[in-house]
Amino acid sequence: MDKIFEPILDKNENIIEIIKPNKKMVFLSSFISSFLILLIMFAIGCVPFFVTGEVEVMWIFIPIIIFIVLEALIMMFTAFYYNKTFFAYTNKRVIVRTGIIGADFRSLDIKMIGAIDVEVGLLDKLIHQNTGSIRFGSMSSPINNQTGGGVVFASITNPYETYKKIKEYIEESKSNS
C-alpha cells in the first residue's frame, strides 16, 4: 500500500501509518447529502405540475427516473472516490490522497502544523461507527470551521486515538529538530 504515495514521497521520507476512511461513513454521508439535494430538486421540479393541476403520470415518472439515475451516478463516483482515498503521515508531513479519475494529493509539513482539530459530527454519533475527522492547520493553511481549510483526514475510525498518535509523533518530530 506504500506504493500509492510513492510518486510524491521525498528521498528520505518514510510512511509511519496509512489510514483508510470508514467505508460505511463515506457512502452514507454521500448518499444522505445527495439524496436531500436531489429530493429538493425533484420537489421544485414537480411544483409546476401540482400548481397547474395538469398532472400526467408520465411527467411524474420522468423526474423519478432522473432522480434514481443521478443518485446511482453519485454512488458510482463515491465508489471511485473511496477507492482512491487514503490518508498518511510520514516522518515529514501529513498527506491526503483522493480523486475520482486521477490521484490528487494534498499535504502539510509536520513542522508547519500549528493546529489540530478533531470533529465527531452528528452522523458519526448516529451510526455508532466510532468515526470522525481530524483537521490539520498551519499559518499558510489555517483551519476555518465554516469554510474548511487545512488538511483533513475525513471519516476515519477511532479519531481520538489517531489524533493522539499523530500529535505525539508531531511533538516528537518537532523536539528532535
Q: Kindly report, residue by residue over 79-105, the tens digit of the pLDDT.
A: 999 999 999 999 999 999 999 888 999
Between vectors from CA 79 to CA 7 and to CA 141, what angle results, nearest 5°? 50
* 177 residues of the chain, pLDDT tens digit each: 779 999 999 999 999 999 999 999 999 999 998 888 877 877 776 666 666 666 666 666 777 788 788 889 999 999 999 999 999 999 999 999 999 888 999 999 999 998 899 999 998 888 888 999 999 998 877 777 656 678 999 999 999 999 999 999 988 887 886
> Which three cell numbers mark 75?
454512488
CA distance 146 to 123: 18
Q: Quick one: pLDDT at residue 119?
A: 92
CA distance 10 to 122: 38
CA distance 105 to 7: 10
* Residues 151 and 143: beta-carbon distance below 8 Å: no
Angle formed by the axes of helices 23-52 and 57-84, nearest 10°: 160
CA distance 177 to 168: 15
pTM: 0.85
Q: Which residue, among 156, 2, 27, 17, has the nearest Cα to 80 in the 3D structure?
A: 27
Q: Quick one: pLDDT at residue 61?
A: 75
* Residues 174 and 110: beta-carbon distance below 8 Å: yes
> Which three cell numbers mark 166?
499523530
Q: Quick one: pLDDT at residue 34?
A: 86
Lateral strand order in the sheet of 104-109: 15-19, 86-90, 93-98, 104-109
Q: What is the chain's alpha carbon radius of gyration, rounded to the nearest angstrom? A: 21
Q: Quick one: pLDDT at residue 59?
A: 64
* SS3 state of residue 96: strand
